[in-house]
Amino acid sequence: MIQCRMLTLVALACISNISTPPITAADEKLTLLDGKDLSGWTTKEPKSRSHWRIGKPSLNPIDKQQIIAAEDGAALINAEGRGVDIYTLQKFSDVRIELEVMVPKGSNSGIYVMGEYEVQVFDSFGKQDLNGGDMGAIYGAAPPRTNAQTEPGTWNKYVIDFRAPRFDSTGARTEKAKFIKVELNGQILHENVEMNGPTPSGVTGKETPAGGPLMLQGDHGPVAYRNITIRAIKRP
């Protein structure tokens, strides 16, 4: 039987000089975000380039490649793009991640499970011939089965079911990381996709038995995320 616990992530904040919490166990319950600031999260360097903030996003009616960020909201917004990636201080192993993402026209981001394995976020609306860089792809590993994206500026819901890589007592990998299932807007995009290694541009570029954070890519285009939940799952 699978044991689960849910984490609700509502908002974020860069915190320095804080030790990284241990890997989250299946029987722990942890609330990382309070909907007011970026507590429990940090960014890659240089932090001065970070454009992440909490607010209410909407598509710019004049320029649909941009997001407008209003004050009254609890979504995580990277309104300017070309900033830095943001990730949790908390680490996770086997997880089920649910979140919603808003992508403006032509924009690009990514969801890095354990900080190393990317599910692509990209404006592929209306595209028929999909490849490994389109919305819903497991970047560099498998294109999505179908194009389930809604039009730019609307919310899209991901459900990502992931099994971390396994290692023996010497630190040698014995089983690859696996995306058990990835859904976008209720449509199955992937099942049982094994990863040969980390996706480029992750937190460390390395595989580890110590777990890893949830990272959201912010060094490409504007993007917004909301209703992020994580369930830590104990798998054999």
pLDDT of residue 32: 58
67: helix, coil or strand?
A: strand
44: which DSSP letter?
Answer: P
Could you give all domains of the chain from N- to C-terminal order, each with its CATH number?
3-234 (2.60.120.560)
Query: What's the mean pLDDT in 17-46?
Result: 66
- pTM score of the predicted model: 0.89
Phi and psi dihedrals of 49, rounded to 5?
-90, 0
pLDDT of residue 1: 46
Q: What is the pLDDT of residues 110-142, one digit of tens each?
A: 999 999 999 999 999 999 999 999 999 999 899
How much is the mean pLDDT over the chain?
A: 88
Cα separation of 115 and 87, whole Å? 7
130 exposed, middle or buried (CB, 10 Å; 0-12, 13-18, 19+)?
Answer: middle
pLDDT score of 191 more than 50: yes
Return the amino acid letter for 59. Answer: L
Q: What is the pLDDT of residues 57-73, one digit of tens each?
A: 999 999 999 999 998 89
Closest to 100 measured CA to CA, from 130, 139, 126, 73 = 73
